[in-house]
Amino acid sequence: MPLLSTGELLDRNRAVLAFNVIQLEHAEAILIGAERAKRPVVLQLSENAVKYHGALAPTSLAVLRLAADAPVDAAVHLDHAENEDLIAEAVALGFTSVMFDAATLPYAENLERTAVVARSAQARGVWVEAELGAIGGKGGAHTPGVRTDVDEAVDFAGRTGIDGLAVAVGSSHAMTSRSASLDFDLIAALAGAVSVPLVLHGSSGVSDDDLVRAVSLGIRKVNISTHINGVFSRSVRATLAAHPDLVDPRKYLGPARDAVADEVERLLLLI
């Protein structure tokens, strides 16, 4: 199927789940899970994953091809990019969606730089997400305790022209227990006031029930990374413990890919 933008997925669906890709097996697992669940999905590569690989193109060209060949609606998104050049490269490579993350910059600078990125990526048909954390930009959106201010979010979305907004509503990145407590009143207030779809980051720390509730209150894109990495790594650990003489990576990466596909399918069917 041709790749869609995250915006096109959201036009057709109440909400979408977005899973982070680090290596090929992640992308394969996410698409297998989506195919089984018959649900759309966003595959995303973060700037940190690009730094890990040392370049954007090699991994992302594989992911773009896998997603385009999959029998499900899919978007490929650049996640948490702080660098405008990386965004331009992603757009040129065919990413259908990007996130410009300037949330730790002062508010005026976040606004100004985000507006420039939005104009140029949208001119190429790309959906643009940005992030707003602490009021005035004093803290990133996923620092524990930080909350997005409703009036500031309305101003920011209106003046930048972005397509989606990552908000700070109680989740934080890289939690390995699903024990975050979301501020549901704030989610409802933001969804009622902000004109663009809201994005929940750090969703690995959020329970199934709370993810469903957050979506029912207006979260439209749910980003999940650490949770599926946990599933992947626990599988690898178990396989290697059971077979300490294994040397062929396929023998432990394959079961880990299967485990992630199962969990992606389960999560997609929640929403």
Residue pair 97/79 in contact (Cβ under 8 Å)? The answer is no
By the rule CB under 6 A, 221 interacts with ligand G3H: no
Residues 161-200 within binding reach of ligand G3H (CB under 6 A): 173-175
Residue type, 149: D
Comparison of 13 and 226: residue with beta carbon closer to ligand G3H: 226
Using DSSP, state whether 162 is helix, strand or coil. Answer: coil
By the rule CB under 6 A, 116 interacts with ligand G3H: no
Look at the block and give the residue holding tokens 């994005």. Answer: 199
List interacting residues with Zn ion (CB under 5 A).
201
Q: What residues contact residue 11 under an 8 Å CB cut-off, 6+ apart?
A: none
Residue 205 phi/psi, 5-degree rounding, is -85, 5
- DSSP string computed for 21-45: -SSHHHHHHHHHHHHHHT--EEEEE
Residue type, 116: V
Q: Which of 223, 257, 265, 268 binds ligand G3H (CB under 6 A)?
A: 223
By the rule CB under 6 A, 225 interacts with ligand G3H: yes
By the rule CB under 6 A, 20 interacts with ligand G3H: yes
Q: What residues contact residue 241 under an 8 Å CB cut-off, 6+ apart?
A: none
Instruction: Write down the least CB distance from residue 227 to ligand G3H, Å.
Output: 6
Comparison of 49 and 115: residue with beta carbon closer to Zn ion: 49
Q: Which of 26, 39, 77, 201 binds ligand G3H (CB under 6 A)?
A: 201
Q: Is 79 a catalytic site residue?
A: yes
Which of the choices Zn ion, ligand G3H, none does residue 7 contact, using the CB cut-off of 5 to 8 A by kind?
Answer: none
- Which residues bind to ligand G3H, rule: CB under 6 A? 20, 79-80, 173-175, 201-205, 223-227
